[in-house]
């Protein structure tokens, strides 16, 4: 407050009071220093003379540090900055903020600086590692200065773009998607520019041997040249901040839009017109707008929300099922293609991410929509016990899961028919191991179809109980799913050098990727189909772990729903 930056002070105090600020900082430090130690061990090797032999070999660690820092900026900073203005809009506090003496430019700049300072604390963690790189040799001091300045400029540009997206969009979800829309381009141009600018500046720095004032002039000219080379990035950042200052007032009170509902309405109009031209308006299922006789909350979730109504879910089913049926028909018609898998692997890789994202968004929106419409208190005073209340609120998610199950069931049926009749007729079952893999794939796909969607549903709902912001809940859920899929495989790959058999053989089976894409992950060898093989033990272990996770998450959501929502349950009357 003493420096006349009240909004910046407020944001920094709020961030410092949040536990996740320090958790993310520690995770980032562990990843950064772990990667540095990995590269150092690879470069240094071992032996008594390793210290002297490492002189002049700091280039590999320098390149790793610079590229990891750039990727961190591109991946973390949009997520940190995209909610700077939208959070004020969602809390209906932007109007109050505009009534203060702070002007639009001041609001934008203080929000911008607060996010930039947060990212700067992450970047400062790399300074000791840059000192180690300089001590190892092989890298000029001005190369390190150039890389640090380049990273600062990229932080300014990415943060400015995210602030502009935050002023333009009404919700944090929209700003989040817009902020990351240009990130793949930023990664390509950023890494290319970093790898090209640093050696060029180093060559300019090394030209000739100068002393005294000539050396000082070389330093000044190098810094000026470095600043001139960064003017395009700084200019784009200034343009983004200027546009954000203009849009702050123009889009401060834009009414919320449901883009998904608008898309479904346009799709609904297209299907109605197509129905009129082909069948003259025959409707198989008519929805009657009647009041609820029982389960009013479930009725509202399945009748008044876009992803709960039958006609919109049928449109979603058509979008997913039609390409699958076409691919299956083409595979069956083209009998000359001796493919063991057909289109199954491709559609599994496509459908599961779509299903996970759709279920996550819908499950996290169950409570987030009530908070945004300020109807959560009304819901909590409804005369239902927590188990029934949670069950009715997730009625729309269960209906969505039922619709998403149909494409997976189609894949299971096609895979069984294709391999039992077509592949067997083409004599592609050349070993008993192929039969074992076939049985595993059918069982694995069936287990995944029955368990995974429900685990994702309860995981997303449990996270939304504790995380009030839907965007953060969605990101945390998807990050958890990604970790569950990747960590067992990475650990097994890392520990394989220490032991090639035993319990480590079962570790990859904790990952859903191993179950769904067994043929792609690793071949069986010449194992026989018996319950003592790691294949079946792993599948049984995975199934039991999935069911246990499903039941534990459901139990947690039902038991602690009232606690996290602040709902007071009625006390039982004492016995007489």
Q: pLDDT tens digit string along 386-436?
A: 888 889 889 888 988 988 888 888 888 877 777 666 555 555 445 455 566
Which residue has tokens 């692997």?
A: 345
Beta carbons of 416 and 512 less than 8 angstroms apart: no
Give the pLDDT mean for 89-93: 82
pLDDT number for residue 505:
66
pTM of the model: 0.67
| Cβ neighbours, 10 Å, residue 378 | 10
Residue that is written with structure tokens 């993310």 in the block: 24
Instruction: Check residues 224 and 455 and name the one with the higher pLDDT.
Output: 455
What are 97's two structure tokens? Answer: 């903020």
- Here the tokens at position 387 are 């188990």
pLDDT per residue over 184-195, tens digit each? Answer: 665 555 555 555
Quick check: 525 pLDDT over 60?
no
The answer to whether residue 551 scores a pLDDT higher than 90 is: yes
Cα torsion angle, 471, 473, 476, 477, sign = negative
Query: CA end-to-end span of the chain, whole Å?
Result: 61
Residue that has been written with the tokens 């958790």 in this structure: 23
| Residue 534 burial by Cβ neighbours in a 10 Å radius (0-12, 13-18, 19+) | middle
Round the average pLDDT of the chain to a whole number and report it. Answer: 76
What pLDDT digit, counting tens, does each position of 285-326 carry?
666 555 666 778 887 777 766 666 776 777 778 778 888 888
DSSP letter at 423?
Answer: I
Q: How far apart are CA 483 and CA 481, in angstroms?
A: 5
Whether residue 501 is predicted with pLDDT greater than 60 in this model: the reply is no
**DSSP state string for 69-111:** HHHHHHHHHHHHHTHHHHHHHHTT-HHHHHTSS--HHHHHHHH
CB contact at 8 A, 166 and 83: yes
Question: Poorest-confidence range of 10-24, 152-166, 255-269, 493-507?
Answer: 493-507
* Tokens, residue 507: 């570790």
Higher pLDDT, 73 or 503: 73
* Assigned token pair, 159: 């943060």
Does residue 95 register a pLDDT over 60? yes
- Point out the least confidently predicted range of 108-122, 188-202, 464-478, 489-503: 188-202
Asked which of 2-16, 176-190, 399-413, 483-497 is least confident by mean pLDDT, the reply is: 176-190
pLDDT on residue 75: 82
DSSP per-residue letters across 475-495: HHHHHHHHHHHHHHHHHHHHH
Residue 456 has a pLDDT of: 93
């Amino acid at each position: 407050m003493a420096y006349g930056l009240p909004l910046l002070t407020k944001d920094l105090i709020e961030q410092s009071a949040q536990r996740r600020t320090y958790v993310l900082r520690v995770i980032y430090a562990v990843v950064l220093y772990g990667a540095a130690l990995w590269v150092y061990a690879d470069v240094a090797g071992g032996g008594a003379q390793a210290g002297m032999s490492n002189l002049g070999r700091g280039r590999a660690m320098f390149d790793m540090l610079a590229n990891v820092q750039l990727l961190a900026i591109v991946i973390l900073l949009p997520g940190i900055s995209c909610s700077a203005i939208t959070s004020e809009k969602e809390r209906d506090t932007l109007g109050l903020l505009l009534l203060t003496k702070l002007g639009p430019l001041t609001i934008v700049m203080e929000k911008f600086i607060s996010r930039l300072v947060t990212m700067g604390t992450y970047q400062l963690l790399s300074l000791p590692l840059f000192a180690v790189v300089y001590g190892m040799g092989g890298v000029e001091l001005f190369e390190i200065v150039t890389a640090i300045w380049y990273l600062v400029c990229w932080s300014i540009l990415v943060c400015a773009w995210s602030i502009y997206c935050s002023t333009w969009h009404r919700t944090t979800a929209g700003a989040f998607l817009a902020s990351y829309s240009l990130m793949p381009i930023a990664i390509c141009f950023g890494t290319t520019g970093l790898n090209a600018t640093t050696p060029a500046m180093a060559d300019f720095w090394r030209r000739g041997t100068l002393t005294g004032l000539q050396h000082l002039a070389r330093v000044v000219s190098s810094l000026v040249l470095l600043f001139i080379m960064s003017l395009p990035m700084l200019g784009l950042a200034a343009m983004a901040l200027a546009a954000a200052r203009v849009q702050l007032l123009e889009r401060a009170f834009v009414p919320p839009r449901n883009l998904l509902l608008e898309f479904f309405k346009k799709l609904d109009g297209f299907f109605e017109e197509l129905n009129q031209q082909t069948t003259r308006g025959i409707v198989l299922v008519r929805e009657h707008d009647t009041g609820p006789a029982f389960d009013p909350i479930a009725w509202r979730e399945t009748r008044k929300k876009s992803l709960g109504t039958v006609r919109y879910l049928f449109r979603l089913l058509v979008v997913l099922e039609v390409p699958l049926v076409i691919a299956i028909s083409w595979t069956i018609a083209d009998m000359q293609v001796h493919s063991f898998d057909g289109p199954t692997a491709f559609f599994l890789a496509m459908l599961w991410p779509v299903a996970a994202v759709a279920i996550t968004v819908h499950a996290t929106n169950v409570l987030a929509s009530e908070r945004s419409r300020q109807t959560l208190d009304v819901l909590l005073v409804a005369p239902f016990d927590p188990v029934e209340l949670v069950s009715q609120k997730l009625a729309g998610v269960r209906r969505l899961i039922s619709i998403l199950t149909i494409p997976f069931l189609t894949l299971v049926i096609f895979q069984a028919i294709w391999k039992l009749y077509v592949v067997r007729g083409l004599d592609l079952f050349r070993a008993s191991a192929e039969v074992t893999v076939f049985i595993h794939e059918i069982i694995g796909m069936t287990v995944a179809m029955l368990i995974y969607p429900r685990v994702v549903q309860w995981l997303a709902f449990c996270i939304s109980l504790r995380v009030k912001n839907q965007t953060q809940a969605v990101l945390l859920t998807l990050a958890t799913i990604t970790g569950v899929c990747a960590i067992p495989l990475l650990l097994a790959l890392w520990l394989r050098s220490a032991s090639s058999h035993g319990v480590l053989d079962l570790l990859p089976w904790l990952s859903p990727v191993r179950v769904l894409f067994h043929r792609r992950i690793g071949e069986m060898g010449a194992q026989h189909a018996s319950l003592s093989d790691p294949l079946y033990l792993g599948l049984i272990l995975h199934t039991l772990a999935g069911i246990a996770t499903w039941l534990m998450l459901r139990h947690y959501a039902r038991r602690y729903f009232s606690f996290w929502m602040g709902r007071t349950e009625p006390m039982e009357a004492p016995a007489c």
